[in-house]
Amino acid sequence: MRRSTVLVNIYDGQIRMIRKAMAKLHEDLQFDYEEELNDLI
């Protein structure tokens, strides 16, 4: 996947959108989802 600039840009954009949405959640949920997201990355 890292060979394709387009795929990398889409992936990075999705991660940014997820983090932006998570910022609006309660702190406890942010913590839980951050752990899950880090496991995926």
Overall domain count for the chain: 1
- In this predicted model, what pLDDT tens digit does every residue of 8-34 receive, in sequence order? 999 999 999 999 999 999 999 999 999
CA neighbor of 38 nearest in space, from 17, 20, 19, 23: 19
pLDDT bin (cut points 50, 70, 90) of residue 2 is confident
- Is the predicted pLDDT of residue 1 greater than 80, yes or no? no
Rounded to whole angstroms, how far apart are CA atoms 33 and 12?
17
pLDDT bin (cut points 50, 70, 90) of residue 41 is confident
Domain that includes residue 9, residue range:
5-40
Rounded to whole angstroms, how far apart are CA atoms 32 and 5?
30
- Residue 27 is predicted with a pLDDT of 95
Global pTM value: 0.79
State the amino acid at position 39 in one-letter form. D
